[in-house]
Structure 1
Amino acid sequence: MAVGLAIAGEVGQYNGRMTLFVIISCMMAAIGGVIFGYDIGISGGVTSMEPFLKKFFPEVNIKMKSDTKISNYCKFDSELLTSFTSSLYISGLVASLFASLVTRAYGRKPSILAGGAAFLASSALNGAAMNIYMLILGHLLLGVGIGFGNQAVPLYLSEMAPPKYRGAINNGFQFSVGIGVLSANLINYGSEKIKGGWGWRISLAMAAVPASMLTLGAFFLPETPNSLIQRSTDHQIAKKMLQRIRGVDDVQAELDDLIKANNISKNIKHRFKKILERKYRPQLVMAIAIPFFQQVTGINVISIYSAVLFRTIGFGESTSLLFVVLTTGVVRTSSTFVSMLIVDKFGRRVLFLAGGIQMLVSQIMVGVVMAAQLGGRGGVSEAGIFFFFGGWVAVMTVFVYLFLPETKNVPIEKMESVWQEHWFWRRIVGDSSKDTKMEAP
């Protein structure tokens, strides 16, 4: 408790407030989250539209109209369709590796700009697609945009936000993702009703609207003080930017900490070797475990394939899209908004644990419904994937409860104290803390 109070006091030493300049800059950057959510939501919707399937995946469309003895689940079993959806993640994975280098060497703005340009190009290709090759190429470009945008935007938001509002601002990216998913679901629901079979083009091409906003807005975004310090020895530029975004003149304490952290980072010769050291073991584990658990919760499966899942258990095309709007759209956006309001009050662990319990219950419920509805047509085996996700959610929840300490109001440079107070991690970092004390004057 004493450590927590000391840390909170040091955070309070930073002057500043939430300024209109920061709000506008973060809202503009967070459009990257809107695009990511939109493209996740739109993919699942269009792959359940009959005109889209008839043009690009005729074998799936034929299965849908074939003998009902064929499992509804198997009607969507297509390697080409899987290639279309998975191409986004393959290109996104590769692009993210290059994005981190660009972000560090040239700043956050160029990465956001590159992401917006890739999003814009992908929306043009997908909306005008005449064959499967154009469609997959557009999806590959979409992955490039996600790789750059998802790498740079959360970092930008975190560095621009005042320390005491950092949790809420960071959640702004996830809220933007929810807005994107909801918008995609609404557009899918409306475009599916367009006669003539070209409504799917509107769904895919409408991604150009937020993509244009992000691309144009990136030209006017200010660089973060952290980025300016990393790439320049003239710290007065960073100080002026810090004064502007904090709304006060006295920002020396925060500036000194940023410069100190940057100098320490530059003095590390072998960064990947350094992170493997014993005293950094907790950070390494969390950096790997938390994103891993996020992926195996099944949220992306629900978001992308929700319309297909509803059709699989017997709903019609229009009804499936309506259910998607109500479930993954409205519920996700509303819950994210609530989390933005309470994250800096109740902390990160509370949201992790509450979210884990809710996801576990929902995955089990979806699995049971799938098994019951599909019955003897392979329902149990198909529903098993949701029990698989539910198992990982349970593991994640236990992991968070046992091994993840609260980080509310804790600056990054003070996290070592948190690990030293934790019941488990102090056994790992204990030796390093003793070394630090011995070296102190």
Structure 2
Amino acid sequence: MAGGGFVSNSAPLRHYEGGMTVFVLVSCIVAATGGLIFGYDIGISGGVTSMAPFLKKFFPSVFRKAATAKGNDYCKFDSQILTAFTSSLYIAGLVSALSASSVTRAFGRKVSMVTGGLSFLIGSALNGAAVNVAMLIIGRIMLGFGVGFANQAVPIYLSEMAPPKWRGGLNTGFQLFIGIGVLTANLINYGTAKIDGWGWRLSLGLAAVPAVIMTLGSLTLPDTPNSLIERGQLDKAKAMLQRIRGTPNVEAELEDLVEASATSKMVDQPFRNILKRQYRPQFVMALLIPFFQQLTGINVIAFYAPVLFKTIGFKSDAALMSAVILGVVNLVSIVISIFFVDKYGRRFLFLQGGIQMVICQIIISAILGVKLGTSGNGGLPKGYADFMVVAICLYAAGFGWSWGPLSWLVPSEIFPLEIRSAGQSINVAVNLITTFIFSQVFLSMLCHFKYGIFLFYAGWVVIMTLFVYFFVPETKNVGMEEMTRVWAEHWFWRRWAPPHQPKTADINIDVEMVNGKHHDQKQGTPQQTFQ
């Protein structure tokens, strides 16, 4: 099917018994708090870089330029040193996300989450106590290591713990806590901006709170059955699967998990194997979905929301309050996504959100073009400024229930176990390197593109929406270890994907194979059959 790429109805999906349990819900909520550290950083950095005492202490040239510039308002904050403060985190996150793959695979998902929380805690202390730019940047690097580990491990954990029917909603919890982090940071910035001289220290130092929540929460989490099987702990995996599904009848799902683990044990170099022809669809998604997410323009607007609002004529307090409003809208839209992602599917939200973002970006560009032109002088009249905030909020809402949560959900659920950690690391790495590039150049682009910067992003949203329509299949209600059928039955990707082999009802699990060994059954290989 050229337009849809949905799973066909040629064969029924494999049925897993059990459903949502309180244990799974609580575990996923605790794990999803890992999104707090990423969200807090996204929200806090833009507000801090708009505070005069912070600029005066660390970036005096930018402070003088912003205070006295009589030229083009679009260019007041154009400083590569200032943007390096924000974007340095993402280079560190890129490095740590790639290294986190081996940690996640060898020691489990929760170890990576604890590591990320501790690193973020150290970074928050350094930033809050910073006395020079070097200390600021080192702190940002430690924050970046924390974000890289958390973003690599948390989505995988959520997708592996959740029953297929509720996987979308539970995985979206990660984006929900990112939104909570952003909103919390915006509210803190609004309050600390009123503290003369040292309010920025409080904003940066309070990053320790989400770091502690994530670290302590991760220590209480159980390992996923997938991770336990991957490390050869089959009995514990079965017991955990029974507990999280709320039923003793977990044989069908357990068989799929064990088979996937046995396959993964044969893969010594997952980063090399993900380049193989059979994984071409997943590899392309790992590259393009996070790349496109950043080309929506949302993160650079979230980073620099107060700066952006000041650029278009808002005063300092009004700019920070507008960023708070933006955070509330984003949070509400993520909650909407939680309730609809498993009902209407991933593709519907992707397409609807894309169309909404394009319309809003065109409106924003038109307002700036008509009222500010290319000079950017004078600011917007109040009515136009208010309408601009509404348009940006609608744009943020479209992102919040589409490309925001789905860019983490879809990649985390499509990879087979043997390349899952490597695939998620690539997904996070592409996200962070693209975030780094666009956060580094955004203020310069704003200076040179003027109002056209929103048309630039609108063009990319058109491209990515068409990409979803033609090439992204529907994955709702599909078991993670049954995901090969999605690619085998897609009109385009089936030329690379291996044919899907339907499972039989017979459950015969080779324990030695789980441990990475394979013996001939006729020679008396010890086997364990779960009845």
Q: How high is the TM-score relative to the length of structure 1?
A: 0.92
Instruction: Say if 1:313 and 1:373, in contact at 8 Å, map to a contact too.
Output: no
Task: Tell me by how many angstroms 1:427 deviates.
Answer: 4.3
Q: Which residue of 1 aligns with 2:224?
A: 224
> Is residue 321 of structure 1 aligned with residue 328 of structure 2?
no
**Which stretches in structure 1 are left out of the alignment for 5+ residues?**
none
Does the residue aligned with 1:115 lie in a helix, a strand or coil? helix
> Is residue 398 of structure 1 aligned with residue 462 of structure 2?
no
In structure 2, relative to structure 1, the CA distance for the partners of 1:269 and 1:215 (3 Å cut) is closer
Task: Tell me by how many angstroms 1:281 deviates.
Answer: 2.3
In structure 2, relative to structure 1, the CA distance for the partners of 1:427 and 1:218 (3 Å cut) is closer
What's the CA shift string for 1:271-312, capped at 9, x where partnerless?
A: 455434444322222221111111211111111011100011
Measured in 2, the distance between the counterparts of 1:108 and 1:165 equals: 20
Task: Tell me by how many angstroms 1:346 deviates.
Answer: 0.4
Q: Which residue of 1 aligns with 2:402?
A: none
**Over the residues paired in the alignment, what is the CA RMSD in angstroms?**
2.0
Q: Which residue of 1 aligns with 2:152?
A: 151
Instruction: Say if 2:7 and 2:485, in contact at 8 Å, map to a contact too.
Output: no
Measured in 2, the distance between the counterparts of 1:177 and 1:2 equals: 31
How many residue pairs get matched?
A: 427
Task: Tell me by how many angstroms 1:386 deviates.
Answer: 2.0
Q: Which residue of 2 aligns with 1:292?
A: 291
Q: Which residue of 1 aligns with 2:304?
A: 305
Q: Which residue of 1 aligns with 2:135?
A: 134
**What amino acid is the match of 2:261?**
N
- Greater shift, 311-320 or 279-288, is seen at 279-288
Instruction: Say if 1:35 and 1:177, in contact at 8 Å, map to a contact too.
Output: yes
Measured in 2, the distance between the counterparts of 1:265 and 1:21 equals: 28
Q: Which residue of 2 aligns with 1:47?
A: 49
Instruction: Say if 1:405 and 1:418, in contact at 8 Å, map to a contact too.
Output: yes
Measured in 1, the distance between the counterparts of 2:150 and 2:489 equals: 36
Measured in 2, the distance between the counterparts of 1:56 and 1:341 equals: 44
Measured in 2, the distance between the counterparts of 1:326 and 1:25 equals: 30
Q: Which has the larger helix fraction?
A: 1
Instruction: Say if 1:189 and 1:321, in contact at 8 Å, map to a contact too.
Output: yes
**What amino acid is the match of 2:343?**
K
Instruction: Say if 1:7 and 1:409, in contact at 8 Å, map to a contact too.
Output: no
Instruction: Say if 1:158 and 1:170, in contact at 8 Å, map to a contact too.
Output: yes
Q: Which residue of 1 aligns with 2:213?
A: 213
Q: Which residue of 1 aligns with 2:344?
A: 346
Instruction: Say if 1:159 and 1:224, in contact at 8 Å, map to a contact too.
Output: yes
In structure 2, relative to structure 1, the CA distance for the partners of 1:56 and 1:235 (3 Å cut) is same
Match of 1:433 among 492, 499, 502: 499
What's the CA shift string for 1:64-107, capped at 9, x where partnerless?
A: 22142x22222211121021111011111111111111111111
Q: Which residue of 2 aligns with 1:113?
A: 114
In structure 2, relative to structure 1, the CA distance for the partners of 1:128 and 1:373 (3 Å cut) is farther
Measured in 2, the distance between the counterparts of 1:221 and 1:410 equals: 25
Q: Which residue of 2 aligns with 1:193?
A: 194
What's the CA shift string for 1:338-368, capped at 9, x where partnerless?
A: 0100111100000100111122122223333
**What amino acid is the match of 1:318?**
D
Task: Tell me by how many angstroms 1:48 deviates.
Answer: 0.7
The within-5 A match list for 1:404-419 is 404-419=472-487
Does the residue aligned with 1:433 lie in a helix, a strand or coil? coil
Instruction: Say if 1:45 and 1:321, in contact at 8 Å, map to a contact too.
Output: yes
Measured in 2, the distance between the counterparts of 1:270 and 1:140 equals: 28
Q: Which residue of 2 aligns with 1:253?
A: 252
Measured in 1, the distance between the counterparts of 2:40 and 2:189 equals: 10
In structure 2, relative to structure 1, the CA distance for the partners of 1:80 and 1:270 (3 Å cut) is closer
Does the residue aligned with 2:34 lie in a helix, a strand or coil? helix
What's the CA shift string for 1:245-284, capped at 9, x where partnerless?
A: 2222222221111000111122235545543444432222
In structure 2, relative to structure 1, the CA distance for the partners of 1:88 and 1:419 (3 Å cut) is same
In structure 2, relative to structure 1, the CA distance for the partners of 1:99 and 1:341 (3 Å cut) is same
**What amino acid is the match of 1:366?**
I
Measured in 1, the distance between the counterparts of 2:492 and 2:9 equals: 18
Match of 2:358 among 360, 378, 383: 360
Q: Give identity over the alignment, percent.
A: 59
Instruction: Say if 1:7 and 1:410, in contact at 8 Å, map to a contact too.
Output: no
In structure 2, relative to structure 1, the CA distance for the partners of 1:95 and 1:277 (3 Å cut) is closer
Q: Which residue of 2 aligns with 1:79?
A: 80
Q: Which residue of 1 aligns with 2:261?
A: 262
In structure 2, relative to structure 1, the CA distance for the partners of 1:23 and 1:63 (3 Å cut) is same
Measured in 1, the distance between the counterparts of 2:49 and 2:321 equals: 15
Q: Which residue of 1 aligns with 2:67?
A: 65
In structure 2, relative to structure 1, the CA distance for the partners of 1:79 and 1:16 (3 Å cut) is same
Instruction: Say if 2:7 and 2:486, in contact at 8 Å, map to a contact too.
Output: no
Q: How high is the TM-score relative to the length of structure 2?
A: 0.77
Greater RCO structure (CA 8 Å; 6+ sep) = 2
Measured in 1, the distance between the counterparts of 2:234 and 2:278 equals: 30
**What amino acid is the match of 1:312?**
T
Does the residue aligned with 1:6 lie in a helix, a strand or coil? coil
In structure 2, relative to structure 1, the CA distance for the partners of 1:334 and 1:316 (3 Å cut) is same
> Is residue 124 of structure 1 aligned with residue 121 of structure 2?
no
Extract structure 1 runs of 4+ deviating beyond 6 A: none
- Greater shift, 283-292 or 395-404, is seen at 283-292
Does the residue aligned with 2:469 lie in a helix, a strand or coil? helix
Q: Which residue of 2 aligns with 1:90?
A: 91
- Greater shift, 81-90 or 263-272, is seen at 263-272
Measured in 1, the distance between the counterparts of 2:251 and 2:210 equals: 37
Task: Tell me by how many angstroms 1:116 deviates.
Answer: 0.4
Task: Tell me by how many angstroms 1:50 deviates.
Answer: 1.0
Instruction: Say if 2:109 and 2:227, in contact at 8 Å, map to a contact too.
Output: yes
**What amino acid is the match of 1:382?**
K
Measured in 2, the distance between the counterparts of 1:307 and 1:149 equals: 26
Does the residue aligned with 2:76 lie in a helix, a strand or coil? helix
Does the residue aligned with 1:73 lie in a helix, a strand or coil? helix
> Is residue 171 of structure 1 aligned with residue 172 of structure 2?
yes
Measured in 2, the distance between the counterparts of 1:141 and 1:273 equals: 28
In structure 2, relative to structure 1, the CA distance for the partners of 1:115 and 1:277 (3 Å cut) is closer
